Structure 1
Amino acid sequence: MTLSKKLAEYTVHLKYEDLPLEVVEFTKICILDWYGSALAGKDEKPVQSIKELVEEWGGNEQCSLITGGKSSIGNACLVNAASSHIVELDDIHKSSIIHAGTVVIPAAIAIAEAYDLTGKELITAIVAGYEVCYRIGEAVSPSHYYYWHNTATCGTFGSAAASAKLLNLNVEQIAYALGNAGTQAAGLWEFIEDGANTKQLHTAKAAYNGVLAAMLARKNFSSASKILEGRRGFFQAMSTEYNEEKITEQLGKQFKIIENSFKIHASCRHTHPAMDCVLQLVQEHNLTHESIQNIDIHTYQTVLDITDNPQPDSIYASKFSSQFCSALIAVNQSASLKDFTKESLHSPVIRELMEKVSVAADPYFTGAYPEKWGAKVEITLENGMKVKASTDYPKGDPENQAAKDEMVAKFSNMTSDKILHPDEEAAIIFDLENIKIKNWLPNVNYRLANQKV
């Protein structure tokens, strides 16, 4: 049996009734985190550009846009997926290196709203989508990640699987969906050299392409049967090392969604291990920026590949700069959305401290990655004293969990200037299994439009 068929069988057989309560509740946290990120990002210029484009295209009013109004399923995927990725607060899975929420959830919500499906069906589909894309990401990581953005590539499979589950496709049709998801999988890291808007296009198209693949499969539109393991398939074409066993190991016996990590700081996750260490040292020793002579970061190689940027020239680029993020949190003792501003980007205090930050790859942390995303930080003070801290698990990892009330607080922080009552919106999501999606998102648009009343 092909790998696509095995994943398709898993997806067909998954039922809401088989989900442990822990998984259901955790999935709601994932939805809450996606929704907060989407609301926080909806007014950003790249998202507005995509919104303006879909308005130019037009489309049947099938489902809601996070920016307001309605459009087609495909257009909703484009807008809602881009919006939920741009502020760099969306979820992350360590070993697959995927932000699943930003591609799986907008696709699933668009289908669920358009076809008048229930919260239970949505939750089940999201669990399936996360499972499929995480397994494919684990199979090709970390080699795939050097050139390819896993969220864009592997995430397309997750979008397809979640959509296929909601469309009630059979095994053969889901295999078709996965095959045509794989042939569309794309997203190169070169955008990071320019701090370009392309990263939002990655998630927009991953959500869109997965839905496209599933909806074509519903019409029995066929695809490569061995899109993963075939000699010209995803594994061989897009990774130098891969492990097929990751696709089926314990498949159906575990729920990978609960391995998900959540971001606390509003920056690239690769900056977080060092940021946590810096914050710990600053707070434990009551350090001021004037007292710091050097900040030496020892971490895994991917941190340098993605976030070694000593001179970021935009707010977005600053979120991919280990030097900036470490200096920012040392000065502000916070790195929320409200800390990443033009003022902080050009702050003489932060810029001066950035010059004192060094980042180096460490064999221990490089060897432990991607199962562990760790760092060791040594701060040398002006008086010659050295203080050290290390972590294998930044805050928000399953091994260093953020509690439910912390995630609700994060949601409120992300959305306080977007909606009037974040606590009420959170309560709706925590009751999602008891409502239909059509009764949720259109009302979200109403609440957004009337938030100042």
Structure 2
Amino acid sequence: MSSNGVVTNGTSAVATKLNESEAANIPVTEIFADFVANAHTDSLDLEMREKLKEVIVDYIGVTAAAGYSVDSTPPIYKAVLALGGAEGSSTAITKGQKFTPQYAGFLNATFGHSMDFDDTYSPGTLHAGVTAISAALTQAELMGSTSTSDRFLLAVAVGYEVTCRLGRELGYEAYSQGMHNTATAGIFGSVAAISVLKRLTSRTIEMAFGFAGSKASGSMQYLENGSHNKRLHAGFAVHDAFLCVALAEAGALGATRIVEGKFGFLNAYSPNPNKDLKRLTEGLGTHWEWLVSALKPYPACRMTHGFIEMAGDLAQKHSKEVKGIICALSPSNFSVVGHRTPNKLHPENIVDAQFSAYFQTANAWIYGSNTGNAAYNKLDDPRIHALCERITCVKDSSIKGFGSTIEIEYADGSKEKQDMPFPLGEAEHPYTRDRVDQKFFSLATPVYGKDDATRIRDMVNSIEKHTIAELLDLLGREASAF
């Protein structure tokens, strides 16, 4: 988001359209529809199963905690009730009653995205699991005994894959147009997950994708005032995916070539000059791109995670007074978390703090990197605000992805610099399974109690022996901190 409105991963670019001949020769939408229609549980090898169980356990912990105690949950829940959403047979996590499928999916995905604690896919700068898992859970519950846990796992994997591959081609550049990849790509992944469980034909899936292209949305304007819009983006995507699939099944005619067409998804939603349709479809069904998705150790924008970890580690090693801190990040990430605007320098609400490199660095330096959601109880902490004034964020075009560097200048004149090319959770800096469980229990135990939290974790770990109905029976039990 530079002065000319377009920033790539360190370089400027003008909006670039896909080559029409290339688009004509690579029918992406049809290829994706075929992939979804022909997906088979044979793809669920041991690596895939273990990864799926990790992300599902993580999703449940994050979603339950948000449904239980996040500030935006009561008004969003109230709105769904006002619209008659609680009149179906589908489960919303922690709500203790049943909903129509589109509203159950909406609530679960909204809760799952509300803490900014859900897993991320770095090449696409998005969260794929919150939409894929929410859509698959709701549809699997609707299928009852006509589907299996393996089919559910497959639906989640396919939903992830579609979202991640589309997000990779959107790139960071989509953010320069104010588009939120989690939502815009997420609706396609949600359609895919639902379609796998329903065993839809390729033609029906293509039509559902066609409608999804008209419903894809998610404005980055939420950054201006810390609004709840971002949390809702994932929910809107899942809600609308159910509508898109229903329309396609009913025989409504959706747009063709919705991904690659002249006015299609990739052209309309991102100026990325490096869109590659061959890369987008290559290895589909054999190479699973989504497996590089990373779990998040901190409930904050992923772009701040390097600063949180480095500041926390360095502060533990030293007790010296800090004169100043320089936080360097890519130009694209700077545009989201680094601008020295009042709402980032001194955030007054949770969303602004989640997207503030200043607040996250200062909090980690003073209170450590593992304060979790309790960090947002310190929005008026004078020590944090004083340190924020001594933090400078700068752009560095040599930094890629979610990488970052931090330089500390101490009051005695000494300096210390640290570089983190990959934040904790990425494959190059892995998040171990014991930490997955630790995070889950920290989130789920206050909601369900230790015994039921353990039952939930164990049920996911052996999901092949259970039904989704059994799992949702535990997850749907009413729990609220309000």
Report TM bin, short chain. over 0.9
State the percentage of identical aligned residues: 27
Deviation at 1:17, TM superposition (A): 2.1
The aligned counterpart of 2:205 is: 174
TM-score, length-normalised on structure 1?
A: 0.94
Structure with more relative contact order (C-alpha pairs < 8 Å, separation 6 or more): 2
How much does 1:84 deviate?
0.7
CA RMSD of aligned residues (A): 1.7
Instruction: Find 2:302's aligned residue among 254, 269, 274.
Output: 269
Post-superposition CA distance 1:28-69 (Å, at most 9, x none): 111111111111111323222222122222244221111221
Show CA shifts across 1:118-161 (max 9, x none): 22111000100111111111112121122100011011100010
- One-letter identity of the residue aligned with 2:132: V
Query: Mapping of 1:25-44 within 5 angstroms?
Result: 25-42=50-67, 43-44=69-70
Equivalent residue, structure 2, for 1:202: 233
Task: Give the match for residue 62 of structure 1.
Answer: 89
1:289-308 equivalences in 2 (<5 Å):
291-308=321-338
Aligned 1:407-418 pairs, distance under 5 A: 407-418=436-447
Instruction: Give the conservation status (yes or no) of the 8 Å contact 1:41–1:47.
Output: yes
Report the Cα offset of residue 442 of structure 1.
2.0
Question: What residue is the counterpart of 1:100 in the other structure?
Answer: 128
Report deviation, 1:225.
1.1
| Whole-angstrom distance in 2 between the partners of 1:340 and 1:416 | 19
Provide the rounded CA distance (Å) in 2 between the counterparts of 1:225 and 1:336.
48
Q: Secondary structure at the match of 1:406?
A: helix
Aligned-residue offset at 1:202: 0.8
Q: 1:219 Cα shift?
A: 2.3
Comparing 16-25 with 258-267, greater Cα deviation is found at 16-25
Report the equivalent of 1:360. Answer: 394
**What amino acid is aligned across from residue 448 of structure 2 in structure 1?**
I
| Conservation of the 8 A alpha-carbon contact between 1:167 and 1:218 | no
1:216 to 247, 254, 266: 247
**Aligned-pair CA distance for 1:450:** 11
Partner residue of 2:34? 9
Q: Give the distance between the partners of 2:397 and 2:332, measured in 1 at CA.
A: 12
3-state SS, counterpart of residue 88 of structure 1: coil
Q: Which amino acid counterpart does residue 107 of structure 2 have in structure 1?
A: V
For residues 110 and 186 of structure 1, the distance between their equivalents in structure 2, rounded to whole angstroms, comes to: 21
Paired amino acid for 1:194: N
What SS does structure 1 have at the residue aligned with 2:355? coil
Deviates more, 1:304-313 or 1:149-158: 304-313
The answer as to whether partners of 1:271 and 1:321 remain within 8 angstroms in 2 is yes
Q: Distance in 2 between matches of 1:119 and 1:183?
A: 31
TM-score by length of 2: 0.88
Runs of 4+ aligned residues of structure 1 deviating over 4 Å after TM superposition are 448-451
Question: 1:47-446 maps to which residues of 2 (within 5 A)?
Answer: 47-59=73-85, 60-66=87-93, 67-116=95-144, 117-146=147-176, 147-241=178-272, 242-283=275-316, 286-288=317-319, 291-308=321-338, 309-342=344-377, 344-365=378-399, 368=400, 372-421=401-450, 422-446=453-477
Secondary structure at 1:341's aligned position in 2?
A: helix
Q: 1:390 to 1:200 in 2, by over 3 A?
A: same
Whole-Å separation in 1 of the counterparts to 2:257 and 2:241: 17
Residue 14 of structure 2 corresponds to none
In structure 2, distance between residues paired with 1:385 and 1:423: 48
Residue 114 (structure 1) shift: 1.3
Q: Distance in 2 between matches of 1:318 and 1:173?
A: 43
**Alignment coverage as a number of residue pairs:** 441
Flag structure 1 segments of 5+ consecutive residues without an equivalent. none
Query: CA separation in 2, counterparts of 1:291 and 1:440?
Result: 50
Task: Name structure 2 gaps, 5 residues minimum.
Answer: 1-25, 339-343
Contact 1:78 1:205 in 2 (8 A): yes
What code does the residue aligned with 2:28 have?
A: L
Task: Sort the Cα spacing of 1:450 and 1:132 in 2 relative to 1 into closer, same or farther, 3 A.
Answer: closer
Shift in Å, 1:2: 2.0
**1:41/1:84 contact within 8 Å kept:** yes
